[in-house]
Structure 1
Amino acid sequence: MELIGPGEEPAEGDDPLAALFTEGPSEPPSDPALARLFPDAYGGPDEVPDDATHAAAAEFRRYTENDLRTRKREDALAVVRALDALGPAGGRDGSGGTDGPRETDGTEGVGGTDATGGAAGPEGAADGAVLRLRPDESRQWLGALNDLRLAIGTRLEVTDEDESGELLRLPDSDPRKPMVMAYLWLGGLQESLIETLTA
């Protein structure tokens, strides 16, 4: 969320309708991770755009990037709020207790894991937590997980999926190792959530 930024909020007294039509930036971000999250709509990463392609990409970005940033912030906030509200055995009140049963209606557990990534305990276990997501929440989680992996992968300079094996073999003394483990774990969580949604 810090990388994406706080967003453009209308100043007090400003017309909120005018804020809806505020144009965004026309040039891609200089930070490589942000450029990966907000790529040009025209051309490719290895192409040198001609004037027409550059103009089309700039215009598309001007009218879409603010909305895209807003959606990415909302996805990230949904994840943060869900984890903040998580109590033992699926409680969602943030106090360590449960707030009663939630409507399931297509609800799925996230990858069969608790909030710390360990195996989820049985229902009612005091040492575990089970997070259940509705389909709309699952889509927000998938978006946020994807954004996290893209940002971390860019920082690690991951260019090919085959590099994950090489990254996994890094020695524990390598300062990139914690970020690599987070990258791989997030990928596993994302895959598990996709499998659950498509089952």
Structure 2
Amino acid sequence: MAGHFEATPGGGAAVALDEVEIAILRSLAVQLLELIGPGDEPTEGEDPLAALFAEGPSEPPADPAVARLFPDAYSNEDEELRAASSEFRRFTEIDLRDRKREDALAVVRSLDTLQPAGEESVVLTLDAEGSRHWLGSLNDLRLTIGTRLEVSDEDEGQGGSLYRLPDSDPRKPMVMAYLWLGALQETLVETLMPE
């Protein structure tokens, strides 16, 4: 189980994590929360129902990593498609941000329940809902890191350049995190697939 998820009864998953892995995952999830931004809470005296009908932004984010998390719905090849993307974003981005925030918070909260002792690994056990939150957050983390590293499909293959970076390359720690998150994500997907 060390380093990969295994299925548990009831549609959940479990993984053994050591103290360093817990710290890395928690740090990355907190950074993801900062990137996504805070949720919109109704101001005091404001009707909470009105917040349900709030409209989101109509322009794509300027930060490439955030834009990767919240992509345009349609290509921007012509003015009509740009307008449709803008309209789609306006009505969906708030909910998408809320879901991504909820996924990342679930990761942080589940990691906060673990009490590793020294170099010993502890087992994180997730129910089906927790597994889905983790899967969403692992995907978001990989998208964000991959965008920051400017990863292409050619880079990712077993013979790709990500696997051949020298230790002196400053990108190496983030590449190692990216590849590790990919392995975690892949094994979690496998646990959630019906047999």
TM-score range, shorter chain: 0.7 to 0.9
Alignment-derived partner of residue 90 in structure 2: 62
Of 173, 176, 190, the residue aligned with 2:171 is 176
SS at match of 1:130: strand
Q: TM-score, normalised by structure 2?
A: 0.78
1:33 corresponds to which of 40, 44, 65: 65
**What is the CA–CA distance in structure 1 between the aligned matches of 2:170 and 2:139, rounded to whole Å?**
23
Q: TM-score scaled by structure 1?
A: 0.76
Letter in 1 for 2:69: L
- Give the partner amino acid of 1:69: R
Q: Per-residue deviation at 1:71?
A: 0.3
Sequence identity, in percent? 70
| Residue 53 (1) aligns with residue 77 (2) | no
The Cα shift of 1:11 comes to 1.2
Q: Which residue of 1 aligns with 2:43?
A: 11
Give, in whole Å, the separation in 2 of the partners of 1:62 and 1:197. Answer: 32
Runs (4+) of structure 1 exceeding 4 A deviation are: none
Given residue 82 of structure 2, which amino acid in structure 1 is its aligned partner? H
SS of 2:36's partner is: coil
1:188 Cα deviation from its structure 2 partner: 0.1
CA drift of 1:194 comes to 1.1
Instruction: Report the count of equivalent residues.
Output: 159
Instruction: Return the index of the structure with the highest Cα Rg.
Output: 1
Q: Deviations over 1:156-184 (max 9, x none)?
A: 00121x30331121111111000000000
Residue among 144, 149, 155 paired with 1:163: 155
Q: Distance in 1 between matches of 2:152 and 2:63?
A: 17
Deviations 1:123-163 (A, max 9, x none): xxx92200111111111100000000000000000121x30
Partner of residue 83, structure 1: 111
Q: 1:7 and 1:154 mapped to 2: Cα distance? A: 23
Higher helix share: 2
Gaps in structure 2 of 5+ consecutive residues? 1-32
Q: Deviations over 1:31-87 (max 9, x none)?
A: 0001100001111xxxx4211111111111000000000000000000000000113
5+ residue gaps in structure 1?
89-95, 97-115, 117-125
Q: Which has the higher contact order (CA 8 A, sep 6+)?
A: 2
Q: In angstroms, what is the RMSD of aligned CA positions? A: 1.6
Structure 2 distance, partners of 1:150, 1:67, is: 19
Q: C-alpha separation between the residues in 1 aligned to 2:166 and 2:121?
A: 31
| Residue identity matched to 1:18 | A
2:142 corresponds, among 149, 154, 161, to 149
Q: Which residue of 2 aligns with 1:122?
A: none
1:195 corresponds to: 190
* 1:123 equivalent in structure 2: none
| Other-structure match for 1:101 | none
Aligned position for 1:22:
54
- Aligned-pair CA distance for 1:28: 0.4
Equivalent residue in structure 1 for 2:101, among 59, 73, 78: 73
